Amino acid sequence: MSVGMDKQELETPALLIDLDALEKNIKTMADYYRAKSGAVLMPHQKGHRLPIIAKKQMQAGASAVSSTSLGLAEYYVNSGIDNILITSEICGATKIARLCALSKHSNITVGVDDIENAKQLSEAALSNKTRINIAVELYMESSGSAGVQLREAKSLVKELTKFRGTNFRGLWWHEGRLSSIRNFEERKRMEFAILDEVARVRDEIEDMGTTVELLSGGFTCTWNITPEYSRLSKVGVQAGSYVFSDWTSHLIEGIEVFDYALTVLTTCVSRPSLTEAIFDSGMNSCSDENGENYASIVGPKFKNLEGLKRIWQREEIMQVIFDDPTSDVRVGDVFELIPPHSDTTAKLHNKYYGIRDNKVEVVWPNYGRGLF
């Protein structure tokens, strides 16, 4: 039994959650949204994938949650969380059948950007004696997302409202390219320009007599920007990575307020020379890509270990080169790694160890990993 153990006694590599930092991050976000009139938090779950954390977020004031995968949405509904925006399109007969079944037991809204896909959803819903909530995804240039072109959104919505098996709820979007903008004011300027376009599309749709009930966009990089935009209110902001944070997030102005809550515990297993050490963590236990630019490989950082010249990860080991010869790090010594991307690191482990005062307080199985 791991509960009550010192964290240094855990077998490594192990995935740790600093419970104090996690709770502080949730509170920091919740306090801002509670104090801001018209602000709505709809935290994304693609990172931690833990219903218990989602419940903490909702207890702190989140109105609903968002999720990219149907499988994760099914898991959450079975865990008692039933107000979910699926931020992707659902295609294929089998998945659509699953969505129909899920819609009978929860308040699920799914993204659409194609009229034929929407027609398939409607026909399947009618055959299964249900109705599926849909929201049109808006395409944001160079964001790595799907979506309908903004100039075509009005005509798509007009056609969608003719289907009897679906219920048009509103619009959602993702602006991933903003994560590369480190300066707060520049990121705010770009976000407001995007929201100008969303407001224009919203007005066009409502001018033809169709209610836009749901608006959802933004993410951790715009957590305190999107709600400041005056022309739109109650935009469900899909901030997610703030609960764990990571070292690359702290390079972005305004995100450094969220503490490192996720680390990987690793053990030194070899000292080939005074300038080199080998650890039992690698890419299979700690991701190495930049969370704000996936094409950039940057690797993890050590917590409380200085004087490192290079960190190089293989699948299951990690080589560390020191600036100067040292005997301070010994075989058997245990350290924590701060991932460059917490979302993908979290999916590499079967369980989380919740740590408080250096002891294991709780073990959470990571049942959400691998659900699509």
| Tokens coding 113 | 């950007």
User: Residue 106: is its pLDDT beyond 80?
Assistant: yes
For residue 39, name the pLDDT band (cuts at 50, 70, 90).
confident
* Residues 333-347 pLDDT 10s: 999 999 999 999 999
Looking at the chain, the whole-number percentage of residues with pLDDT higher than 90 is: 94
The per-residue pLDDT for 121 is: 98
For 230-242, b/e burial (b = at least 16 CB within 10 A) is: eebeebbbbbbbb
The per-residue pLDDT for 49 is: 98
> In the predicted model, what is the mean pLDDT of residues 115-128?
98
* Residues 1-38 pLDDT 10s: 699 999 999 999 999 999 999 999 999 999 999 999 88
Rounded distance, CA 136 to CA 236, Å? 14
* Residues 284-297 pLDDT 10s: 999 999 877 888 89
User: Residue 368: is its pLDDT beyond 90?
Assistant: yes
> In the predicted model, what is the mean pLDDT of residues 78-96?
97
Give all domains of the chain, ordered by start, each with its CATH number.
7-11+257-365 (2.40.37.20), 82-239 (3.20.20.10)
User: Residue 191: is its pLDDT beyond 70?
Assistant: yes
Does the pTM exceed 0.85?
yes
> In the predicted model, what is the mean pLDDT of residues 116-129?
98
The amino acid sitting at 5 is: M
* Residues 223-278 pLDDT 10s: 999 999 999 999 999 999 999 999 999 999 999 999 999 999 999 999 999 999 99
Q: Are 115 and 160 in contact (CB under 8 A)?
A: yes
Three-state SS for 289-334 is EECCEEEEECCCEEECCCCEEEEEECCCCEEEEECCCCCCCCCCCE
| Tokens coding 35 | 């104090």
